[in-house]
Chains A and B, each alone.
Chain A
Amino acid sequence: MAEVRLESIARECRVQILRMLAHAGSGHPGGSLSVIDILVTLFFGRLRHDPKRPDWADRDRVVLSKGHAVPALYTVMARSGYFPETQLITLRKLGSPLQGHPDRTALPGIEAATGSLGQGLSISLGLALGLKLASSAARVYCILGDGEIQEGQVWEAAMSAPKLGQPDHALDNLVVILDENQIQLDNFVKKVLDIEPVIAKWQAFGWPVIEIDGHDIGQIEKALDQAEATKGKPTFVVAHTVKGKGVSFMENDPEWHGKAPKPAEAITAIREVLGVTANAWENYLKTDTAARAIVDELTALEKK
């Protein structure tokens, strides 16, 4: 039942991601759509946080190290109440706190500036250690991209994390989730610089590794439970995902790593996310006023 609720939220977030990117005219749909189920599970099924108190010392932290997927993060933050959902379409516009990549100083609730890949894991180690030193029960969730782990700093942090703070402040409050969507900007990860065997690598660095389907909310929840039950070590979760998940023409295509959909493309994508056939679309829109409003808005944008 809970899973059905989260799946429904994830669907709505996908719609918002596509809408935002069409308005922005640039951005990264592929990785936003691959990571959204993980973010939804965290924000609506897991996190101890209070959007009204983004500086609450004992809040759980999410560090989206693959910062280019920040549209996905903005959708779950807005839905949680960090800022009004009407602000979503200011993404990447001059003066907006919704920067193209996360800016902690611009938007309360963003934990760290990321997007220069490879840095979020080190920050997460520091957060996890600082929380342990403060005897806080808060947990830290760091999300890495699979292309991102080609960065050397990731491996400095990977080598350090299972040892840092031992024995009194071991970082078992840290969970790292790899959004393994198999595509980076230029091409498929295995063609640019293969990261395999990724599980063996993290295990060799001393991490317990869990492998899941990153679009199966039940599996994501179970992995997070397992991580929470693991004492004395941080946990690494390999989440197998599909880049562009939910939109047929975006799925598994490197072209959609960093290209925003045109408004008309976004409308088609939204229809697919909502699971409606082309023939049934007009009738469906009569029943879904929220979708109708977004489609009208994007249609107007197309004409501009």
Chain B
Amino acid sequence: MPAKASRAAFGEALLELGARDERIVTLDADLSKSTMTVNFAKKYPGRAFNLGIAESNMIGVGAGLALTGRIPFACSFACFVAGRFETIRISVAYTNANVKIVGTHSGIAIGEDGYSQMGVEDIACIRALPNIGIIQPADELETKQVIAYAVEHAGPLYLRLTRQNLEPVCPPDYRFQYGRWLLLRPGHHVTLIGSGGPLFNCLEAAKRLEADGISAEVINAACIKPLDEELLLRSAGKTGHVVTVEDHSIAGGLGGAVAEALAEVMPTPVKRLGVQGFGESGDAKGLYTKHGLDPAGIAGSVRKFLNR
């Protein structure tokens, strides 16, 4: 499979699922060309609603539709949906409305548009809410399975997708399971837990570390809420060192969730790699390098963390 953006895989999955399931509707806030629901809208015009640049209303309309049995995918950039936190909090989470909130263009990897368009706090916000699960797929195969799962999942979900292309990381026979992580590469010195955009770089970093005699275990944490505590504890118990890697603020994201879980059950040294401070304009690769999310940056942080 060639590299593909998870938003593109999402658009394709929706098109296919829409044919099978009449309940699926899409909601957009003037970004359907970017969130990739535009083809669904062309094929099923009676089931696609563009609410204009009014994300709070879009999310609320999604809640109402869900309460009549529809399965709405309410889509915009990650920052613009999570920015309507209060509406998600009450109309979706507390109401327990079966809305699939889709945040595309997550992270600093959107690049040139700069910080105001970058969703880097979305996980931290939504993770605090009961009822809503958070899933961040890492490649095309996983994205399509996650979207199919989301249709079947009875309850609200936040799906975090990328603008940039993602190299395949999951094996062809992979089957996504809610609340389960995937061991991509076994190792015994350190556990690298990645999710979404930078996961491929974790695998690349593991190769570099292997050359230095460091055996890195790499885990794909697609499900950020709930965590796969079983795999987390098993791996952390084995390696004794955990490094989280995400294109999100180091506060409150996957790294925060992992640190919280470990601190209570099995205190383990954790190094969180992610975005610090605001993002900025630039090319995606350059931004990943600046924030230490490229293979060299991840490998360097691991060496330092292990004092090697």
Q: Are B90 and A114 in contact (CB under 8 A)?
A: yes
Q: How large is the interface on B (under 10, 10 to 19, 20 to 34, 35 or more residues)?
A: 20 to 34
In angstroms, how far is the closest chain A Cβ from the Cβ of B91? 5
Q: Are B68 and A122 in contact (CB under 8 A)?
A: no
Q: Are A119 and B94 in contact (CB under 8 A)?
A: no
Contacts across chains A and B counted by CB atoms under 8 Å: 117
Q: Are B91 and A112 in contact (CB under 8 A)?
A: yes
B50-68 contacts to A (CB < 8 Å): 51-52, 54, 56-68
Given contacts A130-B65, A165-B49, A168-B46, 18 further A-B contacts (CB under 8 A): A103-B94, A104-B96, A105-B94, A112-B67, A113-B90, A113-B95, A115-B90, A116-B86, A126-B61, A126-B63, A126-B65, A126-B66, A126-B67, A128-B64, A152-B56, A153-B56, A159-B52, A164-B49
Closest to B66 in A: A126
Interface residues of A (CB under 8 A from B): 57, 103-105, 111-116, 118-119, 121-131, 133-134, 136, 152-153, 156-157, 159-160, 164-165, 168-169
With a cutoff of 8 Å between Cβ atoms, the chain B residues found around residue A112 in the complex are 63-64, 67, 91, 95, 97
| A–B pairs, 15, beta carbons within 8 Å | A105-B95, A112-B97, A119-B60, A122-B56, A122-B60, A122-B87, A123-B64, A126-B68, A129-B61, A130-B65, A130-B68, A133-B68, A156-B52, A160-B51, A160-B52
Indicate the member of B57, B87, B91 with the most A CB atoms within 10 Å: B57
State whether the Cβ of B163 lies closer than 8 Å to any Cβ in chain A: no
Q: Are B90 and A134 in contact (CB under 8 A)?
A: no
With a cutoff of 8 Å between Cβ atoms, the chain B residues found around residue A165 in the complex are 49
With a cutoff of 8 Å between Cβ atoms, the chain A residues found around residue B70 in the complex are 130, 133
With a cutoff of 8 Å between Cβ atoms, the chain A residues found around residue B25 in the complex are 133
State whether the Cβ of B69 lies closer than 8 Å to any Cβ in chain A: yes
State whether the Cβ of B89 lies closer than 8 Å to any Cβ in chain A: yes
**Secondary structure of the B contact surface, majority rule:** helix
A151 to B95: give the CA distance in the assembly, Å: 20
With a cutoff of 8 Å between Cβ atoms, the chain B residues found around residue A157 in the complex are 57, 60-61
Q: Are B95 and A159 in contact (CB under 8 A)?
A: no
Closest to B87 in A: A119
Q: Are B91 and A123 in contact (CB under 8 A)?
A: yes
In angstroms, how far is the closest chain B Cβ from the Cβ of A299? 37
Closest to A153 in B: B56
Q: Are B90 and A119 in contact (CB under 8 A)?
A: yes
Closest to B49 in A: A164
Q: Are A124 and B64 in contact (CB under 8 A)?
A: yes
In angstroms, how far is the closest chain B Cβ from the Cβ of A68? 13
A28 to B61: give the CA distance in the assembly, Å: 28
Q: Which of A127, A156, A160 is in CB contact (< 8 Å) with B67?
A: A127
